[in-house]
Structure formats: C-alpha cells, structure tokens
A and B are shown apart, each in its own frame.
Chain A
Amino acid sequence: MVEDCNIKKLRNNCFRQSKVPGEFMLQLRVPGALIDAKWLDVIKHVCQTWGDGTFHLGMRQTLNAPRIKAKDIPAVNEYIQPYLQAVECDMCDVKMQTKDGYPYIAPRNIMACIGGIHCIKGNVYTQRLAQKLEKLIYPNPYHIKISVSGCPNDCGKGHFQDFGIIGCTKPIYTIDRCIGCGACVRKCESAATRVLSLNDKNKVEKDPCCCVGCGECVTACPTGAWRRPAKDFYKIILGGRTGKQYPRMGKMFANWLTEESVLSIMKNWPKFSEWVLGGKPIYIHGGHLIDRAGYQRFKDFMLDGVNLNPEAMIAENINWAETEYRSNIHVKPLDKHLSVK
C-alpha cells in the first residue's frame, strides 16, 4: 500500500518529492553558500543514515540528501536542528523555530559566488549580503530567487534570478599616481565596457556613464592609481528566469545602490507579494508576480519608504525579451490573463 504523504506539506518542509513513492530529498539551505566545513558531517550523516548514501550538490547551492523515507523525516528534522540553529538563526539572525525542520521552501536558497573573501575579481563580500537578505525573506511563504555575485562577471547567474544582485565598485582615480602605462585602458577594452582612454597628457579619461563597475582597472593598475572606495555598490538585475513557458534574461532594475538601499528595497518584497496574491500565498514563482502587477506597480511597492543613496539609478521601464517556446504564447483570451484585477 502506498504510504499516505502530504507532499505539499513536506515540500514546505524542504523535502522534495521523489518519483519513488514515499521517498523525498532533503534540501539544506546554505544562504551565501559559505559555512563551516564541519557541517558537511551533518549532511553526510543524513545521506548515509536515512538516504541511500549518495549526496547531491543542489542547483541552488543547497546540500541535498536524496531517497529519504517519509517515515524517517521527523528523525531527520530532529537531527538537522543544530544546523538550522547555527546557519539560519545564529549566522543569518533569522527568527524561526527549528525543532520541526524548515518552515517554508518558497524563498529559495540565496546563492552567492565566493566573492571578495577569495576571488581576485570580487568587489564585495557576497556572503555577508546574502546572510542579511536571508533575514529579510525567510521564513516567508512567498517565493523568491536571489543570487549575489561579487562582480559583474555574475558567476551567481543573477541574470536568471528574480533578483540578481551584483557587487560593483566606483573606482577612485588618483591622477598623480598614474604612470600612463595604459594597463587599465587595455583591460577595460578587453574585459569590460571600453570606458577608459589615455589622453594627450598620458593620463586616463573615463566615461563614467557606461562604467559597469567591475574594478578591472583597479586590478590592472601597477601603481594603485585606481582603487576601490570603502563604500560598496550593487546593481540589481530583475526578472530573469528559466522555465517551460517564458524563460528570459533579467534586465537592470537598479544601479549604484549601496548595501543599505539594497536591503531597504528587498525588505519590501514580502509586502509586494502579499498584495499581488491578495494575501493568499500560492506556489507561483516570484517573477510572475512582477508580470501580474506590471513593472510600474512593482517599482512603486519596492521603492516604498526607501531612502535611496544619492548615486542610485532606477529603471524607468523594463522591456524583457522572453524566449517563447510557442510563438505568440502571450496572446490568449482575456479571461486567461493573469494581471492583477
């Protein structure tokens, strides 16, 4: 007899249904994707004790234990409690009960590249921001996919998230330290947006408007004439997604935000979601909520009460370009339209 399982309840508990009836895969959240390596023993123990001994590295940087039997889930939840306490409550300052496992799955694990703690390209400490964002979006019934990348290389694939947050810098140029070698100019040309040039006095000119904020000029400079200011900046790439109907790459929603502005904007996400769904959380991906509301309403909600830093720039409009697996997929009877009525 097939075991009676409430798969929606278990999914919310971060156990994903298997094709084998009665089996589930645990997904441990790792917000910011950096934890003490000692926790690997926890997932190893779960895989070897209640799973089949295999371990899956989750697509969103979760630690996954496949093939867990429904009957064992309470034991697994009890066993992972110290992990939830340490990672969610202590590391991210999330306020939640940990004794019955995860309360929600909708806000997906916040991905992050290794960023400025290791990477020679990174501008910012990605984990630190991811952990602060976790506190804003979790626990919460509204779906959202976020990634944090340390530089505009966007190894966190922010262009395919609801919110792709990308660490940037506004390099400072000290003209008297410049030897006019042109290393930054060549690097900007080969790796970034070609905004630098050497003038007839053998110093550097910059078109600040088109600077992508990658910091390659700083890394290339042999004299420290270019340096990153202490103040970090971020851009937010909005509305990217994968999927069977309307996959699309995100577009720039905001540029040159400080961390404070990013957090202040993201804090409004649950409020916006609640409004779009009329307070009834259903399993629907965050990007579709933006489609239903329309960008202008989204923008109004997300910027509500936000004190933007003076450098901040916000998209007036966004025109996404979707991949339509079926041509004119957006053309349908009026009563099938999902806009907020």
Chain B
Amino acid sequence: MKHAQTYQLTVNEMNEFLEQLSKKYDIYAPVRISCGGRYAKDDSIIYQPINTYQEIEFHERSTYPLKEVLTPITQTLFYFTEDEFKESKSPQKDVLIFGRACDINSIKIQDQIYLQNGGIEDYFYKRIRDKIKFILMDCPEQFEGCFCCSVGANKTDMQSLAVSDNNGSAYVGIYDSDFNNYFAKYSAVDHEIQTPLENELKVDYPVIDNLDLANKLKEHPMWKEFDARCIGCGSCTVSCSTCTCFETTDIVYTQNAHIGERRRTCSSCMVDGFDKVAGGQSFRKKTSEKYRYKILHKVYGYNARFHTGPMCVGCGRCSARCPELISYPATLNKLSQAIKEIKGGVQHD
C-alpha cells in the first residue's frame, strides 16, 4: 500500500467530516439491520447510505456484498410509453463507499464484466461507476472463512481514503489529494493502516489452464454429492462479491401494455429457470450441474476470457451464507484433487 498521510479523529470529528463529505457525496457503508438475518434474532449487515460514523459496522463481515451499491438487486433502467422512454434517475452526487480490501477488489471483477466484456460498456453500470471513490476499511479482526490472501485480494490501491476504527476514534489515511483540504486543521499522526497479510484459512486456488481439462472436470464424479447437498437456493451467488448475473424484465403497467418500465433484477445460476431458453429447454437440470457450472465459472470460465486470475476475492460470504453448510474452499480443495487425478491419468467410471 502506498504511504499515506494519516490523521486521528474522534467520533464527533468523524461525523463532522462525514457531514462535510455528504455535500458532495452519497456515502455508503455496511450497516447492521436488526433481526435482518435468516434465523430468529440474527442481524444482517447490508450496504446502505449512512450519515454518521456509528452506523458503520466494522466488526463483522457484511452479509451481502458491496456490489449492491452499484447493481441493486432490483433496478429500474428506464420507463417507456408508446414511443418514448425516460431514463431512470442517475446518481446526483458522487459516491463514496466504505469497503474492505476484498470488497474493493471485487469491483475490478465487476468492472471487467460490465465494462470490458464483448466490447460493450453497460451504460447503467458506468453512470454510477464513474462517480465512485472508495474508503478502505482495515481488517484488524478477520472473519471465519476469509481467504483474501490466497487470491491476492488482500491489497488494493483503489482507495481514496482508509479508515481504521479504534474504539471511540478513527485513523484516517489519505490517498487522494481531493480530500486534503478536509484535514487542514488536524496534524498528521504516525500510523499506517494495514490490510491483511495472512489469513488463518489458506486455499490453494486451483488452476485450470486448458479447455480439455475443464471438460474432463465436468465429467468428474466429485460433483455428484451436491445433488443431495445443494438445494439450489442461490444464497451463495447473491452474497458473492463478484457474481454479476441479472435478468432483464419489462414490467407493463396494468391496463396498458404499452406503458411500463424495464428493470433488471439480480439473478443466480443456482436457481431453477436461470438457463431456460426460448422453447422451454434447460441445459443444467441437476443441482450438481448448476453447482459445477458456478464453480468452474469462478475457477476457469472467467479467467479463460480475461486472463486475470480467479473470479473470486476470498471474502468468504458464499460459505457463510450457505444454509446447507457447503464450504466453497472445501469444494476448491476437491477440485484441486480432481485436477491432480486427471493429470495423473486416474480414470473414473
């Protein structure tokens, strides 16, 4: 991480700072939603607009990913009448997002899919993406199942600011000169904000370097167990920092089919109907096939197109959210084993 000027601010000073920022920026951060979790009395943590420092959840991994700020689960693209359309409101202010190193790195992957895939830039993604700056949150406490270091997502230089919560005060590092003037009245302190150097969980991320190997892996028996274990709910892809799939639907207003809106809605390769094509045909009928498709896309398909490594930042949300306790790292280990078998010439029926 490049060296930054760092300041120490009290909570009140942070709130004053956020208030000043809010004139120019909409500020998003992970926020705790009381009782928002899957089970009784469990909370959830979701990216939402904030006004004050105390709203930010520093001490637990957010349930849902940062990508929701850029691509909300339901988003209206435009409204149409018979021969006209009106674009949905684009962000008025610039956008500041609090995120951890993995979260910020995930946006590099989102960028590739939305801006560099097939030579087309997604207009609705770009109109918010161009306005975004990041505030890096450090990770003094890591969470169960974090493995950012195994996929190189523990470091970032995309941040404009970095914030480290320090029990009643905050360290703020400045990486973007646009923010210098906010700190004129403070004197710098000698403190460097760190991102994780090592995780407890180490994943030997599998490498699939050719299509022949990918095709052989498709036939490998390792996927069979997931027919019985995976319920195809899509919790993993919704909570995934890097998954990008959506569906586009025209919603026509009652009584007049010529007036309505075009929406896109987050989708998941794990749920029924995702791969249904005109004529009603589906290509991945068994849950194990859906799961295999998802994993191979993360490990192979994405990298085959962009050559930038795995479609994963090691945030651990997919495993944390799986109601059937399927561990993604455990699947990766099985995949590594299968690759070894195939390369070593082991045959399966």
- Determine if A219 and B266 form an interchain contact, defined as CB atoms under 8 angstroms apart: no
CA of A309 to CA of B303 in the docked complex: distance in angstroms? 57
Which of B36-44, B180-188, B276-284, B337-345 lies at the interface?
Answer: B36-44
Q: Does B323 contact A (CB under 8 A)?
A: yes
Write the A228-239 contact mask toward B (1 if CB under 8 angstroms, else 0): 111000000000
Q: What is the bound-complex CA distance between A230 and B34, given in angstroms?
A: 7
In Å, the complex CA distance between A266 and B64 comes to: 41
Which applies to chain A's interface (DSSP): helix, strand, loop or mixed?
loop
A180 within 8 A of partner (CB): yes
B140 within 8 A of A: no
Is A201 in contact with B251, judged by CB distance below 8 angstroms?
yes
- Check if A215 is an interface residue, CB within 8 A of chain B: yes
For the complex, is B336 an interface residue (Cβ under 8 Å from A)? no
Q: Is the CB of B44 within 8 A of A224?
A: yes
Contact B265 A223 (CB under 8 A): no
Mask for B69-82, Cβ within 8 A of A = 1, else 0?
Answer: 00011100000000
Interface contact B265-A227, CB-CB below 8 Å: no
B249 contacts A224, CB within 8 Å? no
Known contacts A178-B74, A179-B268; is-contact A124 B251 (Cβ 8 Å): no
**A222 and B35 form a contact (CB under 8 A):** no
Say yes or no: A227-B44 contact (C-beta < 8 A), given A177-B74, A179-B234: yes
B64 cross-chain contacts in A, Cβ below 8 A: 223-224
Closest chain B residue to A219 by CB distance? B38
A202-B249, A222-B235 known; A228 and B265 CB under 8 Å? no
Interface residues of A in 102-129 (CB under 8 A from B): 115-116, 120, 122-125
A180 CA / B64 CA spacing, docked (Å): 17
CB of A218 within 8 Å of the partner chain: yes
Residues of B within 8 A of A221 (CB): 38
Asked if B271 is an interface residue, CB under 8 A from chain A, the answer is yes
A31 within 8 A of B: no
Is B170's beta carbon under 8 Å from chain A? Answer: no
Interface size range of chain B in the complex:
20 to 34
Given A177-B73, A177-B74, A220-B233, also A227-B36 (CB < 8 A): yes
CA distance A169 to B40 in the complex (A): 9
Contact B39 A175 (CB under 8 A): no
Tell me whether B44 and A176 are in contact (CB under 8 A). Answer: no
Contacts of A181 in B (CB 8 A): 233-234, 268, 271-272
Say whether A222 contacts B238, CB under 8 Å: yes
Contact: A179 with B238, CB < 8 Å? yes
Taken together as a complex, chains A and B put the C-alpha atoms of A229 and B35 apart, in Å, by: 6
Asked if residues B33 and A227 are in contact (CB atoms below 8 Å), the reply is yes
Point out the residues of chain A lying under 8 angstroms from B72, CB to CB. 176
CB–CB B233/A222 < 8 A: yes
Contacts of A224 in B (CB 8 A): 33, 36-38, 44, 46, 63-64
Q: Does B242 have its Cβ within 8 Å of any Cβ on chain A?
A: no
Q: Which residues of B contact A155 (CB under 8 A)?
A: none
Cross-chain contact B35 with A227 (CB below 8 angstroms) = yes
Q: A120-B323, A230-B34 are in contact. List 7 more A-B contacts (CB 8 A).
A: A179-B73, A179-B271, A181-B271, A215-B40, A222-B321, A224-B33, A224-B64
- A residues with a Cβ closer than 8 A to B are 115-116, 120, 122-125, 150, 169, 175-183, 201-202, 215, 218-225, 227-230
